[in-house]
Amino acid sequence: MARLHRFRDLVRIGPVQVGTANDRRGCEKHTAACTAPRCGFSAEYDTRSAAELAARTHRCPVR
């Protein structure tokens, strides 16, 4: 059964939301996820700066 992520430090950069949470092992992970309908982009990174860079450079294929 999957554990519910508790995100903190949420930031919105355009349509992409960046948040920080701990994974199952207790390591800090940073997630970037697009909130646009039918986009489906989400990725997990080890550093906050990498997640924010992905958010800034993301282009939705669906417009």
Quick: pLDDT tens for 4-51: 668 888 999 999 999 999 888 888 999 999 999 999 999 999 999 999
What does the alpha-carbon distance between residue 48 and residue 50 come to, in Å, rounded to a whole number? 5
What range defines the domain where residue 30 resides? 8-57
Residue 23: predicted pLDDT? 83
pTM of the predicted model as reported, rounded to 2 decimal places: 0.83
Q: How many domains does the chain have?
A: 1
Do the domain assignments include residue 49?
yes
User: In the prediction, which pLDDT does 3 show?
Assistant: 58
Q: Write down the pLDDT at residue 2.
A: 57
Q: Identify the helix (H) or strand (E) that includes residue 48.
A: helix 48-57
Does a structural domain hold residue 31?
A: yes
Which pLDDT score is estimated for 4?
Answer: 62
* Three-state secondary structure call for residue 46: coil
Residue 22 pLDDT: 87
